Amino acid sequence: MEDISAKVQSVVSWLSGLTGLSAGTILLLAASSGIAWAKKLAKVAVFVLLIAVLVFGYLHGWFAFLGADPRLYRGA
């Protein structure tokens, strides 16, 4: 179970980083050029980032409740 928790953490972390970087880049392009589709795409990327963080928090809570918390959070 701990292995699954660590894999979920890794995937969500990667997804959060990718969507955060993408949203920042798209927002910068949209702000500098005034492209309407870029602004909409940036909003979607931010929404995906928030969903990823919420899903990670939810799964982390369940894994912690089940006693399968990854070592990273135990300070080991």
| One pLDDT digit (tens) per residue for the chain, 76 residues | 567 767 777 777 777 677 667 767 777 777 777 777 777 777 777 787 778 778 777 777 777 676 665 565 555 5
- What does the alpha-carbon distance between residue 35 and residue 50 come to, in Å, rounded to a whole number? 23
What integer pLDDT is reported at residue 11 of this predicted model? 75
Per-residue model confidence (pLDDT) at position 56: 75
Please tell me whether the overall predicted TM-score, pTM, comes out greater than 0.75 for this model: no
Q: What is the 3-state secondary structure (H, E, C) of 27-43?
A: HHHHHHHCCHHHHHHHH
Residue 1 has a pLDDT of 56
**What pLDDT sits at residue 5?**
67
